[in-house]
Amino acid sequence: MIDIKAIAERDRSSVLHPFTQLKKYATGNSGDPTIVTGGQGIRIQDAEGRSYIDAFAGLYCVNIGYGRTEVAEAIARQAYKLAYYHTYAAHTTEELARLSDRLVRMAPGKPSKVFFGLSGSDANETQAKLVWYYNNLRGQPKKKKIISRDRGYHGCSVVSGSMTGMSFYHDHMDLPFPGIVHTGAPHHYWGAEPGETEEAFSRRRAAELEELILREEPDTVGAFIAEPVLGTGGITPPPTDYWREIQAVLRRYDVLLIADEVICGFGRTGADFGSTLYEIEPDLVTVAKGLTSGYVPLSAAIVGEKVYAVMEEAADRVGAFSHGYTYSGHPIAAAAANAVLDIVERERLSDRARTVGSHFQNRLKERFAQLEIVGEVRGVGLLGAIEFVADRQTKRRFDPKLKVGARISKAARDRGLIARAMPHGDILGFAPPLVVSEAEIDEIVELAHGATKQVLDELSKESAL
Ligand code: PMP
């Protein structure tokens, strides 16, 4: 038996938790931590013996589900054989070479080489440095600015946190870093003029991007970074024609495209990559999360032929590529990734995300679209979101003080379902493991529906509707 009180006390007095109100937690005013003790399939358990359906796959990462012993065994085998060696000065391992080769074969765009990191944040930090390096090496030293989108999420380190288009990641932390510029979010529901079609809205967003590039001066703009499907900014699939219009602008001004596939990669959208689904041809691709299903930390910055050719060409002149982490290409992480990708391929999880995903999208729409506080139900594959509003006609938002999204998420949790309250309004987000069954989808949707009804009743009793 574990000592719940002792763990809670140790945690409270020593762990600096992300996204936790520090004072309330430290003083015990926001309750005890949830001590997670185990996981199997789509479920996790806590120390008090409660079981939850994790309809967010941790943080959109545990695509193969919890408790896959095959991955644990691959990790153990590699740890017994060789727990660590670095990859500097052309050192490698069998698992790393196998993983890198398979990523080059499967990644979108025209992949050439893979640089390994430990998180989505550091991989995007690498991408920014590659953009600067590439443009320095090809004699375009001014072409350095990076454009990202409002509500885009790319990590929380210095440059990746600046690319993230959410002000609460910048406030009080001296971000954004200079040279990072933001453009409009691809949210048709919130961004479109009355009556504006998705196609017209996409054209307008592309025209705004072009105006921004011209205003900043094209020879100072190096890259555009975006998630194929906007993730943490609200789980929003791109409106029709968005990616075609945006890519035409980028090509016109010789601006590199970084596809941040950290959420979309390895099947989440029902295709191997979001780029495959939306016909995106990126120059640089960032992957993490699904690469190891979160079993160990690993990310990759995949470098396309165009960028790599310039790097190799300049090598005699500039010397060795001076960028690398102690843990770049860690053998245990590589072994875990290979075991995970074996499962992803064998169980055809991209196809599953498409078929079970279409059941999921239908069920969400059937159960939620008619509710009086639901403004929009959206998603693709096994990514979904419900946007709650106080008035469907005028799209008036709820008073943020009511915390409607957080209350629905909490009510769901009390019923044994983890679905995440997302920032930017009242949004309930879903990203279940890709191994979820149709029956489990029905259970998820019913639990979320019950939670929503409960909060709807509470709101009407509080006369908040
Ligand atoms: N990019 C995207 C699209 C993400 O969703 C995330 C994490 N949610 C990141 C980058 C950052 O990854 P990490 O938290 O591993 O640094």
Give residue 158 CA to ligand 1 midpoint distance, Å: 13
Ligand 1 atom with minimal separation from the 119 CA: 15
For 116, list phi and psi in degrees, rounded to 5: -100, 135
Give residue 325 CA to ligand 1 midpoint distance, Å: 18
Are 76 and 122 found together in one domain?
A: yes
Give residue 82 CA to ligand 1 midpoint distance, Å: 29
Model pLDDT, residue 1: 74
CA distance 331 to 237: 35
B/e letters for 144-173, b = 16+ CB within 10 Å, e = fewer, are bbbbbbbbbbbbbbbbbbbbbbbeebbeee
Give residue 418 CA to ligand 1 midpoint distance, Å: 19
Give residue 153 CA to ligand 1 midpoint distance, Å: 7
- Average of pLDDT values for 239-244? 98
- Average of pLDDT values for 272-284? 98
**Mean pLDDT for all residues in the chain:** 97
Asked if residue 268 is part of any domain, the answer here is: yes
Write out the DSSP string of 306-350: HHHHHHHHTHHHH-S-----TTTT-HHHHHHHHHHHHHHHHTTHH
Which of 312, 346, 380 lies at the terminal end of a domain, its last residue?
346
- Average of pLDDT values for 310-320? 98
Ligand 1 atom with minimal separation from the 264 CA: 3
Are 172 and 45 found together in one domain?
A: no
Model pLDDT, residue 464: 78
Which of 301, 326, 346 lies at the terminal end of a domain, its last residue?
346
Are 308 and 220 found together in one domain?
A: yes
Model pLDDT, residue 452: 98
Give residue 95 CA to ligand 1 midpoint distance, Å: 24
Are 304 and 393 found together in one domain?
A: no
**What digits encode the pLDDT tens for the residues 30-44?**
999 999 999 999 999
- Average of pLDDT values for 367-382? 96
Model pLDDT, residue 463: 81
Are 292 and 338 found together in one domain?
A: yes
**What digits encode the pLDDT tens for the residues 52-103?**
999 999 999 999 999 999 999 999 999 999 999 999 999 999 999 999 999 9
Q: What is the CATH number of the domain that holds 426?
A: 3.90.1150.10
Give residue 72 CA to ligand 1 midpoint distance, Å: 24
Asked if residue 220 is part of any domain, the answer here is: yes
Are 166 and 180 found together in one domain?
A: yes
Q: Rounded to whole angstroms, what are the CA distances from 56 to 61, 422, 433, 444?
A: 8, 11, 7, 11
Q: What percent of the chain has pLDDT over 70?
A: 100
- Average of pLDDT values for 317-326? 98
Q: Check whether 364 has a pLDDT greater than 90.
A: yes
Mutation probe of ligand 1 site: the residue of 262, 268, 422 with most atoms within 8 A of C-beta: 262
Residues 387, 396 contacting (CB under 8 angstroms): no
CA distance 216 to 145: 9
Q: Check whether 2 has a pLDDT greater than 90.
A: no
Give residue 286 CA to ligand 1 midpoint distance, Å: 9
Domain range for 137 is 70-346
Are 192 and 79 found together in one domain?
A: yes
Using a 6 Å CB cutoff, which residues line ligand 1? 59, 119-121, 124, 153-155, 227, 231-232, 260, 262-263, 288
Ligand 1 atom with minimal separation from the 157 CA: 16
Are 372 and 316 found together in one domain?
A: no
Asked if residue 97 is part of any domain, the answer here is: yes
Give the residue, 1 or 160, on which the prediction is more confident. 160
The 10 Å Cβ neighbour count of residue 317 is 7
Give residue 387 CA to ligand 1 midpoint distance, Å: 22
- Average of pLDDT values for 323-330? 98
Asked if residue 5 is part of any domain, the answer here is: no
Which of 297, 321, 346 lies at the terminal end of a domain, its last residue?
346
Mutation probe of ligand 1 site: the residue of 127, 149, 153, 162 with most atoms within 8 A of C-beta: 153
The band of 465, judged by pLDDT with boundaries at 50, 70 and 90, is confident
For the record, the structure tokens of 156 come out as 């929380």
Mutation probe of ligand 1 site: the residue of 63, 121, 258, 292 with most atoms within 8 A of C-beta: 121
Are 270 and 409 found together in one domain?
A: no
Mutation probe of ligand 1 site: the residue of 263, 299, 325 with most atoms within 8 A of C-beta: 263
Ligand 1 atom with minimal separation from the 152 CA: 3
Nearest C-alpha to atom 3 of ligand 1 is from which residue? 262
Asked if residue 6 is part of any domain, the answer here is: no
CA distance 60 to 81: 31
Model pLDDT, residue 250: 98
Q: What percent of the chain has pLDDT over 90?
A: 98
Give residue 229 CA to ligand 1 midpoint distance, Å: 13
Q: Which distant-in-sequence residues (6+ apart) come within 8 Å of 231 by Cβ?
A: 60, 153, 262, 263, 264, 383
Asked if residue 207 is part of any domain, the answer here is: yes
Are 335 and 420 found together in one domain?
A: no
Asked if residue 13 is part of any domain, the answer here is: no
Q: How many domains does the chain have?
A: 2
Helix axes 438-461 and 404-414, enclosed angle (nearest 10): 130
CA distance 22 to 443: 34
Give residue 164 CA to ligand 1 midpoint distance, Å: 10
Are 384 and 298 found together in one domain?
A: no
Ligand 1 atom with minimal separation from the 288 CA: 15
Helix or strand or coil: residue 169?
helix
What is the value of pTM for the model shown? 0.98
Q: What is the CATH number of the domain that holds 89?
A: 3.40.640.10
Q: Check whether 161 has a pLDDT greater than 80.
A: yes
Ligand 1 atom with minimal separation from the 120 CA: 12
Are 296 and 431 found together in one domain?
A: no
Asked if residue 339 is part of any domain, the answer here is: yes
